[in-house]
Copies of this chain bind each other. A is one copy, B any other.
């Protein structure tokens, strides 16, 4: 029995090879930039909104203030935020969503595998999140968050705004599960898919279809019908995935 056999070939070893994953994403600094930039692009912090104070943000992200400041400096250089000093000052979002040039989403081809995987993962996570959300007793605030988010999607006038509102709705649904791990999973999925979703040709018929599904999902969650909510989200994921798989070829 040589070293290779010792390490490979048994069922349990196959699992060993599968569970190991990168222990973290590069440097803390890059991680901060990515997370903040994603939150802004998804619209979790929308145009004009203020980020929390540096000290608070640093603590919440588990990073030193120095590192966080470097990240913010990066965002500032990229023109996504503006910072003012003094009491009442802070860092505010100066980024407005834009429609990418058609077919001009760079690097989508490189990440083909990852994108296809995130479609699968989305199919796993988002319907499950709906099920959990519908099974909870929601507060008035939570219901309001859902209906407001839904209304914002319908009210969006340009594709870029629509895309952000759509992300926000999905994050809102995740957030009413009150499950941090579920919220994180949905956030990750939305971050992965954002660029791709943005590249979907925005046809009137797609938007209408999508809107009907969103409404069905939210209504089922508020009504507490977990099975119906899940099924509606499954349909929504499947339909969107079909479009996206077409785009990826």
**Interchain nearest-CB distance for A131 vs B (Å):** 7
Given contacts A7-B52, A24-B28, A50-B6, contact A19 B124 (CB under 8 A): no
Judging by beta carbons under 8 Å apart, are B13 and A45 in contact?
yes
Q: Is the interface of A mostly helix, strand, loop or mixed?
A: helix
Judging by beta carbons under 8 Å apart, are A35 and B20 in contact?
yes
Within 8 A of B (CB), among A1-29: 2-3, 6-7, 10-26, 28
Chain B CB within 8 A of A79 CB: no
Closest to A121 in B: B181
Judging by beta carbons under 8 Å apart, are A51 and B120 in contact?
no
Within 8 A of B (CB), among A174-190: 175, 177, 179-185, 187-188
Given contacts A6-B50, A12-B45, A124-B129, contact A181 B61 (CB under 8 A): no
Q: Bound complex: CA of A117 vs CA of B148, how far in Å? A: 26
**Interchain nearest-CB distance for A8 vs B (Å):** 9
Which residues from chain B contact A11 at a C-beta distance below 8 Å? 144-145, 148-149, 152, 168, 172
Closest to A26 in B: B62
Q: Bound complex: CA of A26 vs CA of B63, how far in Å? A: 9
Closest to A62 in B: B22
Which residues from chain B contact A123 at a C-beta distance below 8 Å? 128, 131-132
Within 8 A of B (CB), among A24-47: 24-26, 28, 31-32, 35, 39, 42-46
Taking A7-B49, A15-B172 as given, write out 18 further A-B residue pairs in contact, using a Cβ cutoff of 8 Å, ordered by the A residue number. Answer: A3-B87, A6-B50, A12-B45, A12-B46, A15-B168, A16-B49, A18-B171, A19-B42, A19-B44, A20-B35, A20-B39, A20-B60, A21-B184, A23-B63, A25-B62, A117-B180, A121-B179, A124-B131
Q: List 21 A-B contacts (CB under 8 A).
A: A3-B87, A3-B90, A11-B144, A12-B43, A12-B168, A13-B49, A14-B175, A18-B175, A19-B171, A20-B35, A21-B61, A21-B184, A21-B187, A22-B60, A24-B24, A24-B62, A120-B177, A121-B181, A121-B182, A128-B128, A181-B188
Q: 9 closest pairs, A vs B, by CB?
A: A124-B128, A22-B62, A121-B181, A23-B31, A24-B24, A6-B50, A15-B44, A7-B50, A120-B179
